[in-house]
Structure 1
Amino acid sequence: MQFGVFSVGDNHKDPVAGRAPSEYERIKAMVAIAVKAEEVGFDVFATGEHHNPPFVPSSPTTMLGYIAARTERIILSTSTTLITTNDPVKIAEDYAMLQHLADGRVDLMMGRGNTGPVYPWFGQDIRQGLPLAIENYALLHRLWRERVVDWEGRFRTPLQGFTSTPRPLQGVAPFVWHGSIRSTEIAEQAAYYGDGFFANNIFWPNGHYKQLISLYRERYAHYGHGTQEQAIVGLGGQTYIRPRSQDAIREYRPYFDNSPVMGGGPSLEAYVDQTPLSVGSPQQVIEKTLRFREYYGDYQRQLFNVDAGGLPLKTVLEQLDLLGEYVLPELRKEFANRRPPGVADGPTHAARVTAAHQEKQG
């Protein structure tokens, strides 16, 4: 079981301090969060990709390459790589390069993106989001596995005798997650390729995500990649933690109330009750996270969002200290104790290289 933190890179005003950090400050803060995440024992750091204000991470490979040089162990991922508006040839080359620089500590999560204006900025039409996601990934998948590719599709110029460079490290492409909050087609796509499926269960009730994950597991087995228990599932989550639950609720309330996505609707208490949002003591965060397993079955990766909505860096780093000291050890122990035989491990480059070698030998 892998545990990590992810950031969407939003740069909102802190409703308590009354100011938003500069872009420079926010970018440097994301780097500091990644370095701190490794220090306190997390396995993964993931960044989003956005090309519109108030977000800052428009170039995930640049950021992750910099973080790779500052870290030694942590897996570097994306919490969205826009498969719809990025050229799959450029994705293939950029992430293979990052894979080499980071000694294999790289995977990525494909997503469509839901910001309408971004599509025409990159010459695409949001109404073609699903066909773009399906076709572009089909090409990317081949570029990483075939040395010479001939290609013709609907959304880009043809390729003739094309070789993507550099080739994936040790002949094994970065592991791919397909992220979705609503689309059954994306769950089907992940299952078809035998890739991971990531349900970013932050804002919607648990039952919605359970349907998507169940579909993915069923189709993963249908396509012959293994049993449903061997399917690779990741979950998102959002948390705010303090030693005392009363302090967590009191401190987080202004950030919740002023959130552009959570504020203005149900109360904080109702939101915590009805969605995967965790606000409280370490024990409350542990208990709520363990309930995810009850809803969705055993899974491989849990990512926490801890820096959204204008939270200052000092507070975020305090959150990571508390999670690392009190929450991660208990979650690791409990997930390991409750995990039945046959459940897949979280993906790592080293394990996938070993599996590829054994497959060739066998």
Structure 2
Amino acid sequence: MQFGVFTVGDVTTDPTNGRTPSEHERIKAMVAIALKAEEVGLDVFATGEHHNPPFVPSSPTTMLGHIAARTENLVLSTSTTLITTNDPVKIAEDYAMLQHLADGRVDLMMGRGNTGPVYPWFGQDIRQGIALAVEHYALLHRLWREDVVDWQGSFRTPLQGFTATPRPLDGTPPFVWHGSIRSPEIAEQAAYYGDGFFHNNIFWPQEHTRRMVELYRERYAHYGHGTPEQAIVGLGGQVFMRHNSQDAVREFRPYFDNAPVYGHGPSLEEFTEQTPLTVGSPQQVIERTLGFREAVGDYQRQLFLMDHAGLPLKTVLEQLDILGEEVVPVLRKEFERLRPAGVPATAPPHPALTRKEASA
């Protein structure tokens, strides 16, 4: 089981003091969070991709390349890479380059994004979102696996005798997750290719998440990749912790109440009851996260959103200390104890990482 953090890179005013970090501060904070994640023993750091204020991570490979040079073990991922508005040729080359620089510590999550204006900014039509995701990924999949590609589709110019460079490290492309909240077509796409399916369930009730994961598992087996239980599943989550649960609620409430993504709507108590958001003690986070397994079965990756809503960097780093020292060790042990034989513990690692582990 892999545990990590993901960031959306929002620049949000701290409601407790009215201070808004600069873009420079926010970018540096994201790097600090990644370094802290490795320090406390987490497995994965993932960054979103956005091209509009108030978000800063418009160039994930630039950030992840910098982090790769400053870490040794952390898997570097995305949450998500916009398969709809990015050219699949550029994705193929950018992430293969990153894969080489990081010695195989790279995977990525494909997604359509949730900001409508991005589509015309990059010459696309949001009404074609699903079709773009399907066609672009079909091309990307070939570019990483075929040395010479001839291709013609609906959304970009044809390719004749094209070779993407560099080639994937050791001939093995980065592992791909397909991220979706509500689109069964994306669960189907993940299943068709035998890729991972990541349900970022931070805003949705557990029953919806369960249905989407079940669909993916059923179709994964249908396409002959393994049993439904062997399908590669990842989940998102949100936590805020203090050793006293009342302290956690009191401290987090102003951030929740004013957050652009969910402020001024349901109360904190309603939201934590209806979604995976957990605000409380480390033990409550452990119990809630183990409950995800009861809903979706054994899964391979759990990522937590921890640096949003204007929370100051100091607080986020404190949260990571608690997560890495008190929560994740217990979760690792429990998930491993409960996992049946034959069900993978993680997504397939790159061969370079397997060799590194064997020689350690």
Residues 172 and 352, structure 1, Cα contact 8 Å, conserved in 2: no
Residues 256 and 262, structure 2, Cα contact 8 Å, conserved in 1: yes
Map 1:1-362 to 2 at 5 A. Answer: 1-350=1-350
SS in 2 for 1:302: strand
From the superposition, tell whether residues 347 and 9 of structure 1 become closer, same or farther in structure 2 (CA, over 3 Å). same
Structure 2 CA distance for aligned equivalents of residues 296 and 349 of structure 1: 22
Q: CA deviation at 1:260?
A: 1.5
Identity of aligned pairs, percent? 78
Structure 2 CA distance for aligned equivalents of residues 275 and 138 of structure 1: 33
Structure 2 CA distance for aligned equivalents of residues 220 and 333 of structure 1: 27
Structure 2 CA distance for aligned equivalents of residues 79 and 114 of structure 1: 12
Which string of whole-angstrom CA distances, capped at 9 and with x for unpartnered residues, describes residues 172-219 of structure 1?
A: 000000000000000000000000000001001011111110000000
1:331 maps to a residue whose letter is L
Structure 2 CA distance for aligned equivalents of residues 352 and 32 of structure 1: 26
Residues 170 and 353, structure 1, Cα contact 8 Å, conserved in 2: no
SS in 2 for 1:238: strand
Give 4+ residue runs of structure 1 displaced > 3 Å after superposition: 348-355
Q: CA deviation at 1:345?
A: 2.5
SS in 2 for 1:164: coil
Q: CA deviation at 1:265?
A: 1.9
Residues 172 and 353, structure 1, Cα contact 8 Å, conserved in 2: no
Q: CA deviation at 1:353?
A: 8.3
Structure 2 CA distance for aligned equivalents of residues 18 and 348 of structure 1: 44
Q: Give 5+ residue unaligned stretches, structure 1.
A: 356-362
Q: CA deviation at 1:349?
A: 3.2
Residues 93 and 166, structure 2, Cα contact 8 Å, conserved in 1: yes
Which string of whole-angstrom CA distances, capped at 9 and with x for unpartnered residues, describes residues 117-143 of structure 1?
A: 110000001011000000000000000
Q: CA deviation at 1:287?
A: 0.3
From the superposition, tell whether residues 120 and 90 of structure 1 become closer, same or farther in structure 2 (CA, over 3 Å). same
Structure 2 CA distance for aligned equivalents of residues 226 and 354 of structure 1: 22
Structure 2 CA distance for aligned equivalents of residues 202 and 54 of structure 1: 19
Residues 82 and 113, structure 1, Cα contact 8 Å, conserved in 2: yes
Which string of whole-angstrom CA distances, capped at 9 and with x for unpartnered residues, describes residues 310-355 of structure 1?
A: 1100000000001111101110111111111111131253459879
From the superposition, tell whether residues 241 and 173 of structure 1 become closer, same or farther in structure 2 (CA, over 3 Å). same
From the superposition, tell whether residues 353 and 9 of structure 1 become closer, same or farther in structure 2 (CA, over 3 Å). closer
Residues 174 and 350, structure 2, Cα contact 8 Å, conserved in 1: no
1:281 maps to a residue whose letter is S
Match of 2:358 in 1: none
**Farther off after superposition, 26-35 or 14-23:** 14-23
SS in 1 for 2:192: helix
**Farther off after superposition, 259-268 or 203-212:** 259-268
What TM-score results when the alignment is normalised by the length of structure 1? 0.97
**Farther off after superposition, 265-274 or 65-74:** 265-274
Structure 1 CA distance for aligned equivalents of residues 106 and 39 of structure 2: 18
Q: CA deviation at 1:273?
A: 1.1
Q: CA deviation at 1:72?
A: 0.4
Structure 2 CA distance for aligned equivalents of residues 123 and 338 of structure 1: 48
2:135 maps to a residue whose letter is E
Structure 1 CA distance for aligned equivalents of residues 354 and 236 of structure 2: 28
Structure 2 CA distance for aligned equivalents of residues 217 and 35 of structure 1: 34
**Farther off after superposition, 105-114 or 11-20:** 11-20
SS in 2 for 1:27: helix
What is the number of residues matched between the two proteins? 355
Structure 1 CA distance for aligned equivalents of residues 350 and 195 of structure 2: 17
Residues 239 and 304, structure 1, Cα contact 8 Å, conserved in 2: yes
SS in 2 for 1:349: coil
From the superposition, tell whether residues 225 and 354 of structure 1 become closer, same or farther in structure 2 (CA, over 3 Å). farther
Structure 1 CA distance for aligned equivalents of residues 354 and 255 of structure 2: 45
Structure 2 CA distance for aligned equivalents of residues 127 and 349 of structure 1: 35
Structure 2 CA distance for aligned equivalents of residues 332 and 354 of structure 1: 20
Which string of whole-angstrom CA distances, capped at 9 and with x for unpartnered residues, describes residues 215-262 of structure 1?
A: 000000000001111100000000001111001000000010001221
**Farther off after superposition, 345-354 or 34-43:** 345-354
Structure 1 CA distance for aligned equivalents of residues 157 and 221 of structure 2: 35
2:268 maps to a residue whose letter is L
Match of 1:360 in 2: none
Residues 240 and 248, structure 1, Cα contact 8 Å, conserved in 2: yes
